[in-house]
Structures are given as structure tokens and as C-alpha cells.
Chains A and B, each alone.
Chain A
């Protein structure tokens, strides 16, 4: 059905800001596509680029990582490390043949429920436009 064709998105959200922002989207009843799976980490600085790559290997169409706004990281500087690491990861992703737009890095604060819902919807749409035309790293493809 349509659900099969919907791009599968993994959203890795930091506990203090982005995850709370996603909760706020729920409390405010802002709807967004159902194809998103959220994983909580204590800080966006915890996000290892290998996690992003693994997600693509496991068949996700897109990965979204979100942390606190610069300057607001609960742990001080974690979000800066995340930004730098993932900027490099994006280049590597491109090198492997995955469209760099399939990784989305953003800042969402605990007060930005609406923004979270909008980011999810926009990312889904962007991935829909990319589907079929780009190689993913899905296990099935590598196996062949």
C-alpha cells in the first residue's frame, strides 16, 4: 500500500531539546508523517557517524539528527561536536553513493514543537522526491 512506499526515516534526537520538542509536537497535536522512528540519545554529541551509516545499511531512506541550538546544549558543547562530525560524515556519505540530502541535521529546541512536525514533513517530502533515483546502502542492494 502507500505505506510501503513512504520513505522510512530514523530520527536521532537529543534528550534535552529535540526529544522534548517532539513531545511538544505531540502535546500540541501537530501531525506529521507516520514513517518516522525516533531514537533518544542524551546529547546530539553522542551521535556517531557510524550510526547514520548503519541506519542506511538497515534500509532507512533518510536519517535526521537533531540537537539543541548552538549555545544551548545542556552539556555545553556536545552539539558543536555533532555538527562537525556529521558535516564530515555527509561528505563520506556522498562518496559512497548515497545522496547527501538523505542525512538531515537540524537544531530543534524544547519549545519548537511545530518546527519538529514541519521538519519531519519536509524531510519526508524531500526523500519522496529522491526515491527511486538514488542508490541507498540497503543490505539487499549490497548483497547483489
Chain B
């Protein structure tokens, strides 16, 4: 038998000025369900909460209605009061007589009438409310980080330092991502490899981190705290345990026509190769599309000369199922292929290159050993034009968005260029210069004021190759209103930042959303940039949107913090206000499963029939299934039909 304690708050004058609180209490105390009713000035205060506790202790009330502000303000406060006296916290409800009554009604009589009505409904509702227990979902406290770039490495390190196990899965043969391909980073001009390699090594040596390179996520089952992830490791034909990383196989391999992805396609490599000298792990991989032994059963030189006998030509793809509790997606970005910009040569002019290709040319580990030269004839370029926004801010041809990093890395490129070719002249064709970070603006000014870089505001209309091997850049200087052309030896295009080509495929596997541009969608653009709509799956780095290294590191750490917070509890505590199916009433039509946004309903066997079953870990409690069920076989705890109808029915 429900015995409701009713507490009507004055909230100072916020409620009391309009609502006749005394009259409210007098009217309500006579309702059959009410065991106790009183008013108080500030229910949320300590003494206010004490009143509730006292009433539970002394007046035997077993349900509570607090008529005050919005439940969005203080419901958790009052739930704690109940819990402290051993009363189930789901047996309190609030009547919103402030935001939805006293504050929005002019006439005091009307306000009082409305308040009485609102509280009466809550009394009827709470009388029909059943106690609910929080659900404990057991968790596997191991994290999966997908992507071994700087964001993924940071996330892995933070989680591992927090004493949890991490498995770091990386598609390519080495971790390091885009940052490993850079020469120097803005705004410090730090050598990228020098600051990255210590982190890569730390990740590789950390006792809590297991790195899986040459691996991809193929399937994800389960839910937060209990994911089952199928990871496929491709055949590399090299035994990672035996290999000593000497590299002699690479030197002796006769096939040297494999496009070198690490060097942005500028050069070629052998069929067996370590991706770059500082690779972690520094273990070569055979490309089966080019290897003569694998294709034609000829050669096999690498196996013969390998001092560690580490080459295994009968290697096969392997699959592994990992049990993890949380997933961090840090798959990064790729540079747009400028082939669609035929007005800039469409990638066919050898000396009209992309930002990443420039990075590789000035890198000491790059194809030219760090000597900046024109790919066409090896000459040092004396005039270089840097074109910003190729593919970005261009809705007509490519992407409407701004890629965020190009203004900064272009300024950096001009400086690197001047350091390599002190008597060279650099031009930058720009629309705006976006330098928002710490010391970023000063960095760009340095390029202009100290290195004599000429910034010309205008978009490049076209680039044509001249007879003498130079390139004519047709652009304009909008600040003086004149057409301009520059004859340059080399052109560097700041090509747009794009999601990886398999980003959408991975999103579907993980059950996360992506936006129109292919970047992964966060739970809330302002306040939840790390979580996704799928509980337990977090985002870090450029896969969520173009960003620079510091921000990627921040997001990596943020994701790490989210994972550690999740794992800090013994079990996953879930709100019990979720759906459940009465299998005896269910006909197994599974229309509920169709409308469930979280794929939280599955088919289950019930005797000889098939019925629906809610996976409690996945259900978020929206109730779409309940409204859909024609037979009312599924109900939502806390928002059942009974409870809602009690609120609706009393109408005065």
C-alpha cells in the first residue's frame, strides 16, 4: 500500500510568490495515497533533505513527491536522500511547479490550481511506481585502440599508465601514422620523428600495451563493457619473433617497383621492405602483389640470405577474437588525391606536388635524403609557389570544410624551404590565414617578416607547364585587384584532409555514425566531442574532424580518461529504466527490433517459439519499441503505460 510523503517547496519566493503553498498542502493532504504532507522553504538544502529522511524514518512513508523545481535540477539530490534511508531511489518523483508553473503563470489563483493538479498527478504516478534496481553489467577492463597514430598512441599510453590493458591495432606495418611522415612540426619546428619515436617506443615497451600491426578490425559484437572484436592480421610472410630487423632482405630484393606509400608515392621500394627506418616494430613485410616468389615461385633471395631464417612464404591471414570493454577509434586521415584538380595539372605534373610529398622531399629519411629537388630533373627549385585550400573550402569541386592545418603547415613549409634554399623565393596563394593556436599567429608572421615569404591573397585559377620546364601559376592579388602570374620551379598544393578511404566501412562495423564528409560523429558537438552515440566507443584524433597534433594528443588523452573512468567502477552501473519483454505476451514479430536505434533487441528462443529479448547492456531506455509493440508485450521501467496514464488521467 503506497504511502506518499509530499513536500512542497517555497523555493524562497520563486514558487511562494505565486503559488499559495499552504493551500496546496491543505488540499493534498486529504488524498487517499498521501500519508504525510508539508511545506518548506528550500527542499534542496540540507535541512530540507533531512525532512525527507525523517519522514521516511518516522512517518513510514514509502513513496515521495517533491513539488519544487524541475526534476532536471534536483531529482538526483532527492534520490540520494531516499537511498540514504534505505528507500529505493526510484520511488521519488518531482512535480515541476517552478519552471513549469509559478514562473510561467501570471494569475496566482491559476498558478495555485495548476500546482495542485500537477502535484496530484505525481502522487498518483509515484503510487504506481515500482522499486527498480540499478543494473550491474560486468566489464572486461581491457581497451581496444584502433589506429596507431599520435592520437591512438596517446590514448593507449594514458590507459596503460592507468593500469589497464590496451590492445593497439594498426593497419600498416608500423605505428606512427601521419606524424611519422612529417619532417618538422609547427609551431616549434621540432623534428617530428624525434618527438614521436620516444612515444612509439614507450608504447611498444609498455607492459600494459600489446601492439598488433598489419591488423584490421573486421567485426564487432557485444556492447559496452563486453565487446567481442574480430581482428584480422594479414599475411606478412615474415616471422615477427625471429626477425632481427637487419634489413638485408630489403637491400637484396630484386623487385624495386612497389609504390612507396610512406613516401607519398614519390618513390618506389622493394617487394620486401620495412616502411621507414624508425618503424616500430622494425619488421619488414612482403607485398604479395609484387613478390616474385609468391606470384611466380621464382627468386626467394630474401629467405636464402636472412640470417634469422625469418621469411615464411606459406604465411596466411590469421583471425583473433579479442574481448574488450571499451573501444577508442583513432584511425586518422588521409591526404586528398588532387587528380580532380585538372586545372592544377591533376597530379600529372611531376613538380606540382602535395603537402605530404613536400614533407617527404625535405625529410632526411625521404627519397632524396632531405635534399630539396624537383622530382622531374633533380634541380633545386629557386621559386616555389605554395597553394592553400586545394580541395578545402571548395564546395563546387571537393569539400566545403576547412582542413584546419594547412595554413600552419604551409607557413612551416615556406620556412623549411628557405632553410633548404636560402636564396629561393616562396609565394603563398591564400584565401585567409587561419592560425588560432598558441604562438601560431607569431609563427606565420615569422614566415612573412623573417623569411621574406610573399603572401598573395587570391585563388589560383590554373597552372600550366611551360616549355622551359617551369610552371606558370595564374592567380590574382585581390588586395590590389590585379591578375598575377608567377613562373615557378615547383608548386606545393595544400591538399585537403579527408577521412580514410575505409572510414565508412569501419563505422558500420563499429555501429557509429559519420557525417556527410565521412568524419565520425560525436555524441554532442559542443559538450561531448569524445563519446559517440554508441556507449563504450570513443573517438580521438582526425577521424573525428581535421585537427593538428596538439589537439589530437588532447583527444587521445581525453579518450583515455573516458575509458579509465568507465573501468574505474567494479561493474558497469546502468540505469534500470530500460525496456524488457514479457515473453509470454510476445508474438515474435520483432517490429521492436526494427525501430531500435541501438540494435538492442534480439530474437530468442522461448520454448517452441521465437520471441524478442532486450539486451540490457545496449538498451538506452527511449521507449520507441514500447510505442511500437502492438501487443504491449514490451514495457519500459520508469515510463510504463501505467505510470504515464496515471499522470495523464487526473485532469482538473
Please say whether the chains A and B touch (CB closer than 8 A): yes
A-B contact count, CB below 8 Å? 114
* Contact of B627 with A45 in the complex, beta carbons under 8 Å: yes
Residue in A29, A37, A48, A82 whose beta carbon sits within 8 Å of that of B651 in the complex: A37
- Per-position 1/0 for A36-58, Cβ under 8 A of B: 01111111011110010011001
Residue in B109, B111, B627 whose beta carbon sits within 8 Å of that of A85 in the complex: B627
- The answer to whether the Cβ of A126 comes within 8 Å of any Cβ in the partner chain is no
| Residues on the A chain within 8 Å of B627, using CB | 45-48, 81-82, 85
Residue in B96, B110, B620 whose beta carbon sits within 8 Å of that of A34 in the complex: B110
* Contact of A55 with B648 in the complex, beta carbons under 8 Å: yes
Instruction: Report how far A37 CA is from B651 CA in the complex, Å.
Output: 9
* Contact of A45 with B623 in the complex, beta carbons under 8 Å: yes
| Residues on the B chain within 8 Å of A10, using CB | 648, 651
* Contact of A75 with B622 in the complex, beta carbons under 8 Å: yes
- Per-position 1/0 for B610-652, Cβ under 8 A of A: 0000000000111110111000000010010100110111010
- The answer to whether the Cβ of B63 comes within 8 Å of any Cβ in the partner chain is no
* Contact of A39 with B96 in the complex, beta carbons under 8 Å: no
Q: Which residues of B contact A (CB under 8 A)?
A: 70-72, 96, 98-101, 103-107, 109-111, 113-114, 117-118, 121, 533, 577, 595, 597-598, 620-624, 626-628, 636, 639, 641, 644-645, 647-649, 651
Give the 4 A-B CB pairs with smallest separation, nearest first.
A26-B99, A46-B623, A45-B624, A76-B597
15 residue pairs A–B, Cβ–Cβ below 8 Å? A19-B72, A22-B100, A26-B70, A27-B99, A29-B103, A41-B639, A42-B636, A46-B624, A48-B627, A51-B644, A51-B648, A54-B645, A74-B622, A75-B598, A75-B620
**Is the interface on chain A under 10, 10 to 19, 20 to 34, or 35 or more residues?**
35 or more
**CB of B379, distance to nearest CB on chain A (Å):** 54
Q: Which residues of A contact B (CB under 8 A)?
A: 3, 8, 10, 19-20, 22-23, 25-27, 29-32, 34, 37-43, 45-48, 51, 54-55, 58-60, 74-78, 81-82, 85, 117
What DSSP secondary structure best describes chain A's contact surface?
A: mixed
Residue in A34, A38, A51, A74 whose beta carbon sits within 8 Å of that of B111 in the complex: A34
Instruction: Report how far A76 CA is from B619 CA in the complex, Å.
Output: 13
* Contact of A48 with B649 in the complex, beta carbons under 8 Å: no
* Contact of B644 with A41 in the complex, beta carbons under 8 Å: yes
**CB of B474, distance to nearest CB on chain A (Å):** 42
* Contact of A23 with B99 in the complex, beta carbons under 8 Å: yes
* Contact of A43 with B113 in the complex, beta carbons under 8 Å: no
| Residues on the B chain within 8 Å of A76, using CB | 533, 597-598
* Contact of A22 with B624 in the complex, beta carbons under 8 Å: no
* In the complex with contacts A59-B651, A81-B624, A31-B72 CB distance below 8 A: no
Residue in A8, A25, A58 whose beta carbon sits within 8 Å of that of B104 in the complex: A25
Residue in B71, B103, B111, B597 whose beta carbon sits within 8 Å of that of A27 in the complex: B103
